Structure 1
Amino acid sequence: MSDTDAADRLRSLVRDVADFPSPGIVFKDITPLLADPRGLATAVDAMTAPWVDQDVDMVVGIEARGFILGAPVARALGAGFVPARKQGKLPWATTAESYGLEYGDDVLELHVDALVADHRVVIIDDVLATGGTASAAGRLVASTGALLVGFGFLIELAFLGGRDRLGGHHVESVIVESADDEPLIERGVV
Protein backbone atom coordinates (compact mmCIF):
# COMPACT_ATOMS: atom_id res chain seq x y z
CA MET A 1 0.00 0.00 0.00
CA SER A 2 1.42 3.40 -0.96
CA ASP A 3 1.76 6.24 1.56
CA THR A 4 -1.13 8.06 -0.13
CA ASP A 5 -3.34 4.96 -0.08
CA ALA A 6 -2.56 4.40 3.61
CA ALA A 7 -3.32 8.03 4.46
CA ASP A 8 -6.56 7.93 2.49
CA ARG A 9 -7.56 4.72 4.25
CA LEU A 10 -6.86 6.19 7.69
CA ARG A 11 -8.79 9.34 6.85
CA SER A 12 -11.71 7.25 5.58
CA LEU A 13 -11.87 5.57 9.01
CA VAL A 14 -12.30 8.88 10.88
CA ARG A 15 -15.91 10.01 11.22
CA ASP A 16 -16.76 13.73 11.40
CA VAL A 17 -19.55 14.44 13.91
CA ALA A 18 -21.06 17.91 13.53
CA ASP A 19 -22.01 19.97 16.57
CA PHE A 20 -20.41 17.63 19.12
CA PRO A 21 -19.82 18.19 21.98
CA SER A 22 -21.27 21.65 21.36
CA PRO A 23 -22.67 23.64 18.40
CA GLY A 24 -20.07 24.64 15.82
CA ILE A 25 -17.58 21.90 16.70
CA VAL A 26 -16.81 19.14 14.20
CA PHE A 27 -15.62 16.24 16.36
CA LYS A 28 -13.09 13.80 14.86
CA ASP A 29 -14.41 10.38 15.93
CA ILE A 30 -11.63 7.80 15.64
CA THR A 31 -13.67 4.87 16.96
CA PRO A 32 -14.19 3.41 13.44
CA LEU A 33 -10.38 3.49 12.96
CA LEU A 34 -9.84 1.82 16.35
CA ALA A 35 -12.31 -0.94 15.42
CA ASP A 36 -10.43 -1.72 12.20
CA PRO A 37 -7.39 -3.92 13.00
CA ARG A 38 -5.42 -2.88 9.91
CA GLY A 39 -6.30 0.78 10.38
CA LEU A 40 -5.29 0.71 14.03
CA ALA A 41 -1.99 -1.01 13.22
CA THR A 42 -1.25 1.51 10.45
CA ALA A 43 -2.03 4.44 12.76
CA VAL A 44 0.15 3.13 15.61
CA ASP A 45 3.03 2.34 13.24
CA ALA A 46 2.84 5.84 11.73
CA MET A 47 2.72 7.47 15.16
CA THR A 48 5.69 5.41 16.38
CA ALA A 49 8.02 5.84 13.39
CA PRO A 50 9.22 9.42 14.07
CA TRP A 51 10.38 8.54 17.59
CA VAL A 52 12.18 5.22 16.97
CA ASP A 53 15.68 6.74 17.10
CA GLN A 54 14.94 9.35 19.78
CA ASP A 55 15.74 7.27 22.91
CA VAL A 56 12.28 7.85 24.35
CA ASP A 57 11.90 6.70 27.98
CA MET A 58 8.26 7.61 28.57
CA VAL A 59 5.16 8.30 26.51
CA VAL A 60 2.56 10.59 28.06
CA GLY A 61 -0.92 9.90 26.69
CA ILE A 62 -3.55 12.62 27.03
CA GLU A 63 -6.99 11.53 28.29
CA ALA A 64 -8.72 9.68 26.84
CA ARG A 65 -7.87 8.79 23.24
CA GLY A 66 -4.21 9.54 23.90
CA PHE A 67 -4.28 6.52 26.23
CA ILE A 68 -5.55 4.28 23.44
CA LEU A 69 -2.86 5.40 20.97
CA GLY A 70 -0.08 6.22 23.43
CA ALA A 71 0.13 2.84 25.15
CA PRO A 72 0.88 0.85 21.96
CA VAL A 73 3.32 3.57 20.84
CA ALA A 74 5.10 3.24 24.21
CA ARG A 75 5.23 -0.54 23.85
CA ALA A 76 6.66 -0.28 20.33
CA LEU A 77 9.32 2.15 21.57
CA GLY A 78 10.20 0.04 24.61
CA ALA A 79 9.15 2.99 26.78
CA GLY A 80 6.91 3.38 29.80
CA PHE A 81 3.45 4.96 29.62
CA VAL A 82 2.10 7.79 31.79
CA PRO A 83 -1.54 8.93 31.66
CA ALA A 84 -2.26 12.67 31.73
CA ARG A 85 -5.75 12.79 33.22
CA LYS A 86 -8.46 15.30 33.87
CA GLN A 87 -8.58 16.75 37.37
CA GLY A 88 -9.62 14.39 40.16
CA LYS A 89 -9.13 11.14 38.21
CA LEU A 90 -5.68 10.13 39.48
CA PRO A 91 -5.64 8.44 42.92
CA TRP A 92 -2.45 9.90 44.35
CA ALA A 93 -0.54 13.20 44.65
CA THR A 94 -0.58 15.14 41.39
CA THR A 95 0.72 18.23 39.67
CA ALA A 96 -1.78 20.17 37.56
CA GLU A 97 -2.10 22.62 34.67
CA SER A 98 -5.25 24.42 33.56
CA TYR A 99 -5.99 24.97 29.88
CA GLY A 100 -8.65 26.23 27.50
CA LEU A 101 -10.38 24.03 24.94
CA GLU A 102 -12.16 25.10 21.80
CA TYR A 103 -15.35 24.34 23.75
CA GLY A 104 -14.52 25.20 27.41
CA ASP A 105 -11.86 25.04 30.15
CA ASP A 106 -10.33 22.10 32.02
CA VAL A 107 -7.41 20.94 34.19
CA LEU A 108 -4.88 18.20 33.33
CA GLU A 109 -2.88 16.27 35.95
CA LEU A 110 0.08 13.88 36.23
CA HIS A 111 1.20 11.93 39.28
CA VAL A 112 4.03 13.88 40.90
CA ASP A 113 6.37 10.87 40.63
CA ALA A 114 5.45 9.84 37.08
CA LEU A 115 8.45 11.47 35.41
CA VAL A 116 11.97 12.34 36.53
CA ALA A 117 14.58 14.75 35.24
CA ASP A 118 16.43 12.28 33.02
CA HIS A 119 13.33 10.97 31.20
CA ARG A 120 13.00 11.68 27.49
CA VAL A 121 9.27 12.12 26.84
CA VAL A 122 6.92 12.11 23.86
CA ILE A 123 3.33 13.30 24.32
CA ILE A 124 0.68 11.46 22.28
CA ASP A 125 -2.93 12.40 21.53
CA ASP A 126 -5.45 11.73 18.80
CA VAL A 127 -6.14 15.29 17.62
CA LEU A 128 -4.24 18.58 17.70
CA ALA A 129 -6.86 21.32 17.44
CA THR A 130 -6.22 24.62 19.26
CA GLY A 131 -3.27 23.17 21.18
CA GLY A 132 -4.59 23.99 24.65
CA THR A 133 -4.58 20.44 25.99
CA ALA A 134 -1.24 19.52 24.42
CA SER A 135 0.34 22.75 25.67
CA ALA A 136 -0.85 21.97 29.22
CA ALA A 137 0.62 18.46 28.93
CA GLY A 138 3.89 19.99 27.75
CA ARG A 139 3.96 22.32 30.76
CA LEU A 140 3.30 19.37 33.06
CA VAL A 141 6.24 17.45 31.56
CA ALA A 142 8.47 20.53 31.88
CA SER A 143 7.46 20.96 35.54
CA THR A 144 8.98 17.54 36.32
CA GLY A 145 12.35 18.42 34.79
CA ALA A 146 11.96 15.72 32.12
CA LEU A 147 12.99 16.51 28.53
CA LEU A 148 10.09 16.90 26.11
CA VAL A 149 11.28 15.29 22.87
CA GLY A 150 8.08 16.18 21.00
CA PHE A 151 4.39 15.71 20.36
CA GLY A 152 2.68 13.09 18.19
CA PHE A 153 -0.87 13.28 16.86
CA LEU A 154 -3.00 11.12 14.61
CA ILE A 155 -4.82 14.17 13.20
CA GLU A 156 -3.84 17.83 13.14
CA LEU A 157 -6.42 20.49 12.32
CA ALA A 158 -3.80 22.89 10.96
CA PHE A 159 -6.29 25.69 10.35
CA LEU A 160 -6.80 26.04 14.14
CA GLY A 161 -3.13 26.90 14.73
CA GLY A 162 -2.52 24.49 17.62
CA ARG A 163 1.07 23.83 16.56
CA ASP A 164 1.87 27.48 17.29
CA ARG A 165 0.97 26.96 20.97
CA LEU A 166 3.49 24.14 21.46
CA GLY A 167 6.52 26.32 22.11
CA GLY A 168 8.51 25.35 19.03
CA HIS A 169 8.72 21.70 20.11
CA HIS A 170 8.95 18.97 17.50
CA VAL A 171 5.46 17.99 16.26
CA GLU A 172 4.56 14.93 14.20
CA SER A 173 1.06 14.48 12.79
CA VAL A 174 -0.05 11.57 10.62
CA ILE A 175 -2.97 13.37 8.95
CA VAL A 176 -2.93 17.17 8.62
CA GLU A 177 -6.20 18.79 7.60
CA SER A 178 -6.25 22.21 6.00
CA ALA A 179 -9.07 24.75 6.24
CA ASP A 180 -10.79 23.30 3.20
CA ASP A 181 -10.83 19.90 4.98
CA GLU A 182 -8.52 18.28 2.45
CA PRO A 183 -6.26 15.78 4.21
CA LEU A 184 -2.59 16.43 3.64
CA ILE A 185 0.30 14.20 4.60
CA GLU A 186 3.03 15.93 6.54
CA ARG A 187 5.55 13.07 6.44
CA GLY A 188 6.04 9.98 4.34
CA VAL A 189 5.57 7.63 7.30
CA VAL A 190 1.96 6.66 6.66
Structure 2
Amino acid sequence: MSNAPANAPADVAQFVKSQIRTVSDWPQPGVQFRDITPLLGNAKGLRVLIDLFVQRYIDARLDYVAGLDARGFIIGPIVAYELNVGFIPIRKIGKLPYRTVSETYKLEYGSATVEIHEDACGAGDRVVIVDDLIATGGTMLAGKLLLERLGAEVVEGAAIIDLPDLGGSKLLAEAGLPLFTVTSFGGH
Protein backbone atom coordinates (compact mmCIF):
# COMPACT_ATOMS: atom_id res chain seq x y z
CA MET A 1 0.00 0.00 0.00
CA SER A 2 1.37 3.42 -0.87
CA ASN A 3 0.75 6.66 0.98
CA ALA A 4 -0.88 8.25 -2.06
CA PRO A 5 -4.70 8.34 -1.79
CA ALA A 6 -6.26 5.55 -3.80
CA ASN A 7 -9.66 5.44 -5.38
CA ALA A 8 -11.86 2.80 -6.95
CA PRO A 9 -12.04 2.44 -10.74
CA ALA A 10 -14.27 5.16 -12.23
CA ASP A 11 -17.05 2.83 -13.44
CA VAL A 12 -17.32 1.11 -10.05
CA ALA A 13 -17.19 4.44 -8.23
CA GLN A 14 -20.00 5.83 -10.39
CA PHE A 15 -22.17 2.75 -9.84
CA VAL A 16 -21.66 2.88 -6.06
CA LYS A 17 -22.31 6.64 -5.99
CA SER A 18 -25.55 6.12 -7.92
CA GLN A 19 -26.79 3.87 -5.09
CA ILE A 20 -26.17 6.44 -2.32
CA ARG A 21 -29.07 8.64 -1.31
CA THR A 22 -28.59 12.25 -0.21
CA VAL A 23 -30.92 13.39 2.57
CA SER A 24 -31.01 17.18 2.92
CA ASP A 25 -31.06 18.87 6.30
CA TRP A 26 -30.46 15.71 8.33
CA PRO A 27 -29.56 15.36 11.18
CA GLN A 28 -29.61 19.17 11.27
CA PRO A 29 -30.29 22.03 8.85
CA GLY A 30 -27.61 22.54 6.24
CA VAL A 31 -26.24 18.98 6.38
CA GLN A 32 -26.38 16.80 3.28
CA PHE A 33 -26.44 13.29 4.79
CA ARG A 34 -25.03 10.57 2.53
CA ASP A 35 -27.19 7.52 3.18
CA ILE A 36 -25.62 4.17 2.25
CA THR A 37 -28.70 2.07 3.09
CA PRO A 38 -29.93 1.95 -0.55
CA LEU A 39 -26.48 0.66 -1.57
CA LEU A 40 -26.58 -1.99 1.16
CA GLY A 41 -30.14 -2.95 0.27
CA ASN A 42 -29.27 -3.54 -3.38
CA ALA A 43 -27.87 -7.08 -3.75
CA LYS A 44 -25.65 -6.07 -6.67
CA GLY A 45 -24.54 -2.89 -4.89
CA LEU A 46 -23.53 -4.75 -1.74
CA ARG A 47 -21.72 -7.43 -3.75
CA VAL A 48 -19.83 -4.85 -5.85
CA LEU A 49 -18.82 -2.94 -2.72
CA ILE A 50 -17.61 -5.95 -0.75
CA ASP A 51 -15.83 -7.46 -3.76
CA LEU A 52 -14.03 -4.15 -4.30
CA PHE A 53 -12.67 -4.13 -0.74
CA VAL A 54 -11.82 -7.85 -0.83
CA GLN A 55 -9.91 -7.48 -4.10
CA ARG A 56 -8.06 -4.50 -2.67
CA TYR A 57 -6.88 -6.40 0.42
CA ILE A 58 -6.69 -10.03 -0.71
CA ASP A 59 -2.88 -9.93 -0.92
CA ALA A 60 -2.27 -7.43 1.91
CA ARG A 61 -1.46 -10.15 4.49
CA LEU A 62 -3.92 -8.68 6.98
CA ASP A 63 -4.59 -10.07 10.43
CA TYR A 64 -7.71 -7.98 11.11
CA VAL A 65 -10.26 -5.60 9.70
CA ALA A 66 -11.26 -2.94 12.23
CA GLY A 67 -14.66 -1.28 11.89
CA LEU A 68 -15.60 2.11 13.26
CA ASP A 69 -18.85 2.50 15.21
CA ALA A 70 -21.41 2.21 13.75
CA ARG A 71 -21.51 1.85 9.98
CA GLY A 72 -18.05 0.30 9.85
CA PHE A 73 -19.72 -2.59 11.71
CA ILE A 74 -21.88 -3.27 8.65
CA ILE A 75 -19.19 -3.74 6.00
CA GLY A 76 -16.17 -4.56 8.18
CA PRO A 77 -17.23 -8.03 9.36
CA ILE A 78 -18.26 -9.04 5.84
CA VAL A 79 -14.88 -7.99 4.45
CA ALA A 80 -13.08 -9.72 7.35
CA TYR A 81 -15.05 -12.91 6.71
CA GLU A 82 -14.25 -12.86 3.01
CA LEU A 83 -10.55 -12.29 3.76
CA ASN A 84 -10.54 -15.00 6.45
CA VAL A 85 -9.27 -12.59 9.13
CA GLY A 86 -10.63 -11.37 12.45
CA PHE A 87 -12.80 -8.32 13.03
CA ILE A 88 -12.11 -5.61 15.63
CA PRO A 89 -14.91 -3.26 16.71
CA ILE A 90 -13.87 0.28 17.61
CA ARG A 91 -16.80 1.55 19.66
CA LYS A 92 -18.11 4.70 21.21
CA ILE A 93 -17.18 4.99 24.89
CA GLY A 94 -18.96 2.70 27.34
CA LYS A 95 -20.12 0.08 24.81
CA LEU A 96 -17.44 -2.59 25.17
CA PRO A 97 -17.74 -5.06 28.08
CA TYR A 98 -14.07 -5.82 28.76
CA ARG A 99 -11.04 -3.69 29.72
CA THR A 100 -10.46 -1.00 27.12
CA VAL A 101 -8.10 1.70 25.95
CA SER A 102 -9.64 4.93 24.72
CA GLU A 103 -8.87 7.89 22.50
CA THR A 104 -10.65 11.24 22.58
CA TYR A 105 -10.84 13.40 19.48
CA LYS A 106 -12.25 16.79 18.60
CA LEU A 107 -15.53 17.41 16.88
CA GLU A 108 -16.73 20.68 15.40
CA TYR A 109 -18.39 21.46 18.75
CA GLY A 110 -16.89 19.43 21.58
CA SER A 111 -15.24 16.02 21.58
CA ALA A 112 -15.97 12.30 21.39
CA THR A 113 -14.22 9.18 22.61
CA VAL A 114 -13.82 5.74 21.07
CA GLU A 115 -12.55 2.57 22.69
CA ILE A 116 -11.06 -0.77 21.81
CA HIS A 117 -10.53 -3.87 23.94
CA GLU A 118 -7.00 -3.86 25.34
CA ASP A 119 -6.41 -7.32 23.84
CA ALA A 120 -8.05 -6.70 20.44
CA CYS A 121 -4.75 -7.10 18.59
CA GLY A 122 -1.06 -7.20 19.29
CA ALA A 123 2.37 -6.15 18.18
CA GLY A 124 2.92 -6.52 14.46
CA ASP A 125 -0.68 -7.33 13.57
CA ARG A 126 -1.64 -5.82 10.21
CA VAL A 127 -4.99 -4.03 10.24
CA VAL A 128 -7.19 -2.10 7.82
CA ILE A 129 -9.76 0.32 9.29
CA VAL A 130 -13.12 0.59 7.51
CA ASP A 131 -16.01 3.02 7.80
CA ASP A 132 -18.82 4.33 5.64
CA LEU A 133 -17.31 7.76 5.11
CA ILE A 134 -14.50 10.13 5.90
CA ALA A 135 -15.77 13.54 7.03
CA THR A 136 -13.52 15.36 9.51
CA GLY A 137 -11.33 12.26 9.93
CA GLY A 138 -11.37 12.36 13.73
CA THR A 139 -12.89 8.94 14.31
CA MET A 140 -10.59 7.16 11.88
CA LEU A 141 -7.55 8.94 13.26
CA ALA A 142 -8.56 7.95 16.81
CA GLY A 143 -8.97 4.35 15.63
CA LYS A 144 -5.52 4.43 14.05
CA LEU A 145 -3.97 5.74 17.27
CA LEU A 146 -5.72 3.07 19.37
CA LEU A 147 -4.57 0.24 17.12
CA GLU A 148 -1.02 1.57 17.07
CA ARG A 149 -1.04 1.87 20.86
CA LEU A 150 -1.71 -1.89 20.94
CA GLY A 151 1.25 -2.44 18.61
CA ALA A 152 -0.62 -3.01 15.35
CA GLU A 153 0.45 -1.74 11.96
CA VAL A 154 -2.44 0.14 10.37
CA VAL A 155 -2.03 -0.66 6.69
CA GLU A 156 -4.76 1.64 5.36
CA GLY A 157 -8.00 3.42 6.11
CA ALA A 158 -10.86 2.50 3.78
CA ALA A 159 -14.24 4.15 3.29
CA ILE A 160 -17.09 4.08 0.83
CA ILE A 161 -17.36 7.87 0.69
CA ASP A 162 -14.90 10.73 1.04
CA LEU A 163 -16.21 14.19 1.87
CA PRO A 164 -12.99 16.07 0.98
CA ASP A 165 -14.42 19.53 1.67
CA LEU A 166 -14.59 18.63 5.39
CA GLY A 167 -10.83 18.06 5.49
CA GLY A 168 -10.73 14.56 6.94
CA SER A 169 -8.85 12.87 4.11
CA LYS A 170 -6.23 15.63 4.24
CA LEU A 171 -5.88 15.25 8.04
CA LEU A 172 -5.47 11.49 7.74
CA ALA A 173 -2.91 11.78 4.95
CA GLU A 174 -0.93 14.27 7.07
CA ALA A 175 -1.06 11.74 9.93
CA GLY A 176 0.53 9.15 7.63
CA LEU A 177 -2.54 6.97 7.09
CA PRO A 178 -2.89 5.75 3.49
CA LEU A 179 -6.50 5.96 2.33
CA PHE A 180 -8.71 4.08 -0.08
CA THR A 181 -12.13 5.49 -0.93
CA VAL A 182 -14.73 4.31 -3.40
CA THR A 183 -16.40 7.62 -4.24
CA SER A 184 -16.62 11.21 -3.07
CA PHE A 185 -19.14 14.00 -2.67
CA GLY A 186 -18.33 17.70 -2.62
CA GLY A 187 -19.86 20.02 -0.06
CA HIS A 188 -21.08 19.02 3.36
Report sequence identity in percent.
43
Q: Give yes or no for the alignment of 1:30 onto 2:36.
A: yes
The match for 2:164 among 146, 152, 158 is 158
Contact 1:101 1:133 in 2 (8 A): no
Q: Give yes or no for the alignment of 1:98 onto 2:70.
A: no
Q: Residue 114 of structure 1 corresponds to which residue in structure 2?
A: 120
After the TM superposition, which of the residue ranges 13-22 and 61-70 deviates more from structure 2?
A: 13-22
Q: Residue 130 of structure 2 corresponds to which residue in structure 1?
A: 124
Query: Could you tell me how far apart the structure 2 residues matched to 1:100 and 1:49 are?
Result: 33
What is the CA distance between 1:6 and its match in structure 2? 3.2
Contact 1:47 1:154 in 2 (8 A): no
Cα offsets for 1:89-117 (capped at 9, x unmatched): 11111111112335653111101110101
Query: After the TM superposition, which segments of 4 or more aligned residues of structure 1 sit over 4 Å from their partners?
Result: none
3-state SS of paired residue (1:154):
strand
Q: Give yes or no for the alignment of 1:177 onto 2:180.
A: no
3-state SS of paired residue (1:17):
strand
What is the CA distance between 1:9 and its match in structure 2? 2.3
Letter in 1 for 2:147: V
Query: Could you tell me how far apart the structure 1 residues matched to 2:21 and 2:82 are?
Result: 26
Q: Residue 19 of structure 1 corresponds to which residue in structure 2?
A: 25
What is the CA distance between 1:5 and its match in structure 2? 4.1
CA gap of 1:173–1:51, structure 2 versus 1, over 3 A, is same
CA gap of 1:77–1:165, structure 2 versus 1, over 3 A, is same
What is the CA distance between 1:52 and its match in structure 2? 1.8
Q: Give yes or no for the alignment of 1:45 onto 2:51.
A: yes
Query: Could you tell me how far apart the structure 2 residues matched to 1:19 and 1:133 are?
Result: 22
What is the CA distance between 1:76 and its match in structure 2? 1.8
What RMSD over aligned residues (CA atoms) do the two structures have, in Å? Answer: 1.7
Q: Give yes or no for the alignment of 1:148 onto 2:142.
A: no
Size of the alignment, in residue pairs? 178
The alignment's TM-score, normalised by the length of structure 1, stands at: 0.87
3-state SS of paired residue (1:68):
helix
CA gap of 1:155–1:21, structure 2 versus 1, over 3 A, is same
CA gap of 1:178–1:26, structure 2 versus 1, over 3 A, is closer
Q: Residue 60 of structure 1 corresponds to which residue in structure 2?
A: 66
Instruction: Give the unaligned 5+ runs of structure 2.
Output: 1-8
After the TM superposition, which of the residue ranges 138-147 and 46-55 deviates more from structure 2?
A: 46-55
| TM alignment of 1:54-93, pairs within 5 A | 54-93=60-99
Instruction: Give the unaligned 5+ runs of structure 1.
Output: 182-190
Contact 2:14 2:183 in 1 (8 A): no
Contact 1:47 1:174 in 2 (8 A): no
Query: Could you tell me how far apart the structure 2 residues matched to 1:85 and 1:65 are?
Result: 11
